[in-house]
Amino acid sequence: MKKLSPSKGKISHVLYTVLLSIAAALFVVLVTGTVVGLVRSRNAPPLLGPGNPIQTQQPMLQADDIRVYPGLGRLRIPLSNSSTMILSIAFPYSAGDIAFTEELNSKINDLRKLTEDYFISLPERNLMHIDEDLAKQEILRSFNNHLRLGRIEALYFTDMIIFSPDGF
């Protein structure tokens, strides 16, 4: 009795067909890319990648494009009376002023530290009733003293919560 086994010729024929198909697809991609590269002008923006206006979907920044700066995040500040303050600060800035935006991004840690230092330095008796307006003015002044390429016009405390182990 004869045993039927898969033919080695059939497997190699399937493998040959698959490899030939892949090679043909690569050839088509290379020829298409070459033709497109030759036909497009040298000053044309890239078809794919970050320079493509269709893919980025971000409008061009204008000088009067005012946004809220979110970079400081939520601060957790230990206070002198063993309490912890949770604070989020926001402020408007001109997104079109690239140099000032870069300065803000590079000084995030400094601005956080200035805020923490202000609240840590408050005497314990002032922690019961923090004057938000005074705190905003003082922090704004210290921020602007630290910045060189622009000024912040206003600060907003979006969160200001004090957790106390004593429950004051």
pLDDT in tens, 4-59: 555 556 678 888 899 999 999 999 999 988 888 888 877 777 676 655 555 445 55
Residue 3 included in any domain: no
Q: Average the pLDDT over 127-139 and give the result.
A: 88
Residue 127 included in any domain: yes
The closest of 73, 67, 71 to 87, measured between CA atoms, is: 73
Q: Are 51 and 71 in a shared domain?
A: no
Residue 81 included in any domain: yes
- C-alpha 122/C-alpha 129 separation (Å) is 11
Range of the domain at 40: 8-55
Query: What's the mean per-residue pLDDT of the chain?
Result: 83
Q: Average the pLDDT over 117-130 and give the result.
A: 84
Q: Are 80 and 39 in a shared domain?
A: no
- C-alpha 77/C-alpha 89 separation (Å) is 13
Residue 38 included in any domain: yes
- C-alpha 63/C-alpha 158 separation (Å) is 26
Residue 144 included in any domain: yes
Instruction: Say what the pTM is.
Output: 0.60
Residue 85 included in any domain: yes
Q: Are 42 and 94 in a shared domain?
A: no
Domain count for the chain: 2
pLDDT the model gives residue 109: 94
